[in-house]
């Protein structure tokens, strides 16, 4: 082991300042920095070895200095390899998996769907029309008025019932990640707006 009594304070200062600086370096620049530091230490160690009092001590000191230098270079290469792998791993983004059942709401349109009158409207309207027709004319004319009133009343009854059955329809247009588009109709407000992310759910869609 090489003795460095007068370089301890300098080494500690260099260690902390160098570490903070090295954290911002790329793997290649980090290796160059570590190699330069190793060369500087090796040069200082050889100066220390020259101060040894015997040739045997100087030779041992130089061997120790060379061993520490070689180890520092090995460590620098290992750090560069690990740093390169780490950066490559961080920069490697996983491919985006397309979800065929996932999409985004493009628009929500509300429309009013006209209802259709049923048998109840026809019967009710026909009875009312017949009663009114009976009050017009007499004899054969009265019978014709009754039929006309029944027919007109039935039509009016159907129209009134249909109007009462008018309902709103919410049509949601969705664009899927595959690029396809589809419309979904709801008889109640689905609570969706343009920009919402949705996915298929049964025969409809649901927020995701």
Q: Is the pLDDT of residue 43 over 90?
A: yes
- Whole-number percent of the chain with pLDDT over 70: 57
Record the tokens describing residue 164, joined without a space: 């009462």
- Whole-number percent of the chain with pLDDT over 90: 32
Q: Give the pLDDT band of residue 187 (cuts 50, 70, 90).
A: very high
Among the ranges given (34-43, 54-63, 67-76, 162-171), the one the predictor scored with the smallest mean pLDDT: 162-171
* pTM metric for this prediction: 0.37
Give whole-number Cα distances, 120 to 70, 102, 146, 160, in Å.
101, 44, 19, 11
Q: 24 versus 138: which is more confidently predicted?
A: 24
In this prediction, residue 138 carries a pLDDT of 54
Give whole-number Cα distances, 29 to 19, 26, 65, 77, in Å.
13, 5, 24, 12
């Amino acid at each position: 082991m090489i003795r460095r009594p007068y370089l301890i304070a300098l080494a500690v200062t260099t260690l902390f300042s160098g570490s903070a600086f090295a954290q911002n370096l790329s793997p290649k620049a980090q290796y160059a920095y570590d190699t330069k530091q190793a060369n500087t230490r090796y040069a200082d160690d050889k100066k220390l070895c020259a101060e040894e009092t015997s040739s045997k001590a100087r030779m041992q000191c130089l061997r120790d200095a060379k061993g520490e230098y070689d180890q520092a270079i090995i460590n620098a290469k290992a750090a560069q390899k690990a740093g390169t792998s780490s950066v490559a791993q961080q920069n490697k983004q996983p491919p985006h998996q397309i979800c065929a059942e996932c999409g985004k709401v493009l628009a929500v349109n509300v429309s009013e769907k006209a209802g259709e009158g049923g048998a109840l409207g026809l019967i009710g309207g026909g009875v009312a029309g017949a009663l009114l027709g009976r009050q017009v004319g007499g004899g054969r004319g009265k019978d014709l008025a009754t039929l006309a009133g029944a027919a007109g009343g039935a039509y009016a009854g159907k129209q009134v019932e249909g109007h009462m059955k008018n309902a709103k329809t919410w049509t949601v247009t969705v664009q899927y990640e595959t690029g396809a588009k589809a419309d979904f109709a709801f008889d109640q407000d689905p609570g969706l707006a343009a920009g919402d992310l949705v996915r298929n759910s049964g025969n409809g869609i649901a927020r995701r």
